[in-house]
Amino acid sequence: MATSLDPSRQKRPAVDTPTPLDDVNLFRTHFEHLLCAAYLFRRSADDFVLVACNRAATDFPLGDAAGRPGMSARQLAAGNDSDLLDELADCVARGVVKKRQIERRSADGARSHLALQMVPLSSDIVALHVDDVSQQRRIDASLRASERKYRTMIDAAHEGICSVDSAGVITYVNQRAAAMLGYEPIEMVGR
């Protein structure tokens, strides 16, 4: 005889489905706490109007977004060779996320690199995420320069130097090692 304490006999509570208000509050919370600058644009006739920006956008070092909601994409792009309006329109028309990087110069001439991601939220709303990737690009350039110096040293060494991965496959061989074995480096890599 099963008792009411038997878990298999107990009624399970109905799962609460979120109401639209819950979805809106969840979106607002997420939007406000994104680490990158985020902007919401809504289609308005043949343009898009900035309707909101998050906290990160108001603190963004490349522009004061706090006073910009209400401006059109055409106004925001004026004078900086931006195709923001076309990009927003294409994003919603095709319903695809668009990503690209741009270079921007500030009023004082400093260059910065921005990663843009446009996400269509509906047929007339687009979220634009902007992240300053200038520091990462400098780090990447420094790493490439360091690797070039290292390769130059290894290639000029009088010793034969060979690198092998965990499966025993040759991943790198300098000219001296290849010559010692009677091969060209290109013939050895991958074997």
Answer yes or no: are the C-beta atoms of 129 and 60 closer than 8 Å: no
Residue 158, burial from CB neighbour count under 10 angstroms (0-12, 13-18, 19+): exposed
Assess whether pLDDT exceeds 70 at residue 55: yes
Answer yes or no: are the C-beta atoms of 39 and 31 closer than 8 Å: no
Q: What is the arrangement of strands in the sheet containing 111-120, beginning at the earlier edge strand?
A: 47-53, 37-44, 125-132, 111-120, 98-105
Q: What are the tens digits of pLDDT across the range 125-169?
A: 999 888 888 888 889 889 999 999 988 888 888 899 999 999 999
Quote the tokens at residue 89. Answer: 């329109």
- Look up the pTM and report it: 0.59
